[in-house]
Amino acid sequence: MSSATSYEFLDKVISATPDGEKIRKCLQCGTCSGICPYGFAMDYPPRSLIAALRADDFHGVLESDTIWLCVSCFACASVCPAKIPLTRGLLATLKTEMLIGGSIPQELQVALGNSRRYGNALGESPKKRAEWARDFTVPVPILSAHKEPVEVLWFVGDYASYHPRAQQVSRALAKLLFVLDVHFGILGPEENSDGDTQAFTGEWGLFELLARKNTQAMGKYRFTEIVTGDPHAYNAFRHEYPRLGFDRPVKHHTQYLAEHSERIRALLQNRGSRRVTYHDPCYLGRANDNNIYEEPRQLLRAIPGLELVEMSHNRAQSICCGGGGGGMWLDGYSWEKAHTRTSEWRVKEAVAVGADVLAVACPYETPRFEDAVKSTGNEGKLAVKDVAELLVESMFG
């Protein structure tokens, strides 16, 4: 265990984080702990954590492991009246201390080990990263075999490459890029995890390793912009990679598609009426004020026959699916500590507004919410679909 004092730790938070010194301004209002989805189950939700550090009880803080309930959803940071970078600064830095001290749930250790060895958290073969696109009905060019410059470098991401459910979303997006006649390519086996979620588990060294590999791979090809379906990759390219000298424009697929909404609209058909509610992914919305709220909604509203309804928690107030900050790899741990899943709360909200479809825009969400639909007994009542899938269904039936 670390022998550092609270003050040394606070110095680390301050030096490692832009605006880190704002932590000194905490008035102990407790808004952060109140909004934290897992605050009720944590020994030290953000306010108590700051209080403990001020009382120089770092030892007590390190004795508890409930920081691993933090899903890095930015809810606390977004409501803090003093704008303290709680998620990126205080909480991620504490996770780093836990990692150094060896206090890591086994399931997280596996995901981090996989990320370091294979470049993806799922522990899949790097060679098979583009298997989802093999023999698909539309061509998905791999840049190493395609020497021409492209408009769009599509950064697919770990889950969208390997997870069977998220792969379906990748295929839908491939179809959309094809019908829009976009010149695009993917990195295929040269792509590594974007590293964002690993960073928010406190493994910044691993993040840098992955970021350097991606930066190097992208440096080999000519492209105008990056498009990704993964909000975590989007966040990393916009806010974390630039520290390492990376400077390329990036868009989330909902932003990119919204720019082409006129052409998309012409292809959409009414396939029957559906009541759809949209879940704002943390890393498209409130994280780092990314504020991509309207583009996905604009795309959904363009679908004839689709009625868009809002859940009580929407936009900046959205509730995390539970996958961020390492939550994707801590399901057993989180269940053991909290006996609840935020994905289930979200599904219940969607059912409560009478939605037939829960629309999403992050590869963590399709599998998480589909599981939650089953575990809450709502199978058959609520479908979970990425915005890209809903567009494809409207175009092609």
Partner 1 sequence: MDIVVLIKFVPDLVEDLEIDASTGLLDRSFLRLMPNELDEHALEQAVILKERHGGRVTVLALDTGDVDEALFTAVAKGADRVIKITGDGFDQGLGSRRIATILRRALSDVRFDLILTGTQAVDDLDGFVGAFLAADLGLPYVGYVTQVAAADGRVVVRKEYPGGLNAEIEVSGPAVLGIQAAERAPRYVVTSKVMEAMKSAKIEEFAVDEVSVENEFAISSMALPESGTHAEMIEGTVPQIAQRLAALLKERGILA
- Kindly list the residues in this chain that would bind partner 1 in the complex (CB under 8 A): 96, 99-100, 102, 104, 106, 109, 112-113, 116-118, 123-125, 127, 202-206, 208-209
CB of 100 to partner 1, least distance (A): 6
**The sheet that has 383-386: what strands, in order across it?**
306-309, 274-278, 357-360, 383-386
Taking the CA of residue 50 as centre, how many other CA atoms within 13 Å lie in the half-sphere pointing to its CB? 26
CB of 206 to partner 1, least distance (A): 4
If the CB atoms of residues 118 and 293 are measured against partner 1, the closer one turns out to be: 118
If the CB atoms of residues 127 and 374 are measured against partner 1, the closer one turns out to be: 127
| CB contact burial 227-248 (16+ within 10 A = b; e otherwise) | bbbbbbbbbbbbbbbeeeebeb
CB of 102 to partner 1, least distance (A): 5
If the CB atoms of residues 94 and 104 are measured against partner 1, the closer one turns out to be: 104
CB of 202 to partner 1, least distance (A): 8
Q: Which residue, chain included where needed, has tokens 């075999």?
A: 145
CB of 106 to partner 1, least distance (A): 6
Q: How far apart, in whole angstroms, are the C-alpha atoms of residue 164 and residue 154? A: 19
If the CB atoms of residues 129 and 252 are measured against partner 1, the closer one turns out to be: 129
Would you give the DSSP letter of residue 381?
T
CB of 123 to partner 1, least distance (A): 7
CB of 209 to partner 1, least distance (A): 6
Q: How far apart, in whole angstroms, are the C-alpha atoms of residue 28 and residue 145? A: 56
Q: How far apart, in whole angstroms, are the C-alpha atoms of residue 47 and residue 296? A: 34
Q: Which residues sit opposite 250 in a β-bridge?
A: 226
CB of 99 to partner 1, least distance (A): 5
Amino acid found at 368: R
If the CB atoms of residues 99 and 143 are measured against partner 1, the closer one turns out to be: 99
Q: How far apart, in whole angstroms, are the C-alpha atoms of residue 342 and residue 37? A: 7
Output the furthest CA–CA distance in the chain (Å, rounded): 63
If the CB atoms of residues 106 and 137 are measured against partner 1, the closer one turns out to be: 106
If the CB atoms of residues 113 and 249 are measured against partner 1, the closer one turns out to be: 113
CB of 189 to partner 1, least distance (A): 12
Q: Are the C-beta atoms of residues 264 and 180 closer than 8 Å to each other?
A: yes
H or E element at residue 224: strand 223-228
CB of 125 to partner 1, least distance (A): 5
Would you give the DSSP letter of residue 237?
I
Q: Which residues sit opposite 59 in a β-bridge?
A: none
If the CB atoms of residues 104 and 390 are measured against partner 1, the closer one turns out to be: 104
If the CB atoms of residues 122 and 308 are measured against partner 1, the closer one turns out to be: 122
DSSP H helical ranges for the chain: 6-16, 31-35, 46-54, 58-63, 75-79, 92-100, 106-118, 158-162, 164-179, 196-200, 204-218, 231-235, 253-259, 261-267, 294-301, 331-338, 342-352, 365-375, 387-396
Q: What are the respective helix, strand and coil percentages of the chain, to the nearest 5?
A: 55, 10, 35
If the CB atoms of residues 78 and 114 are measured against partner 1, the closer one turns out to be: 114
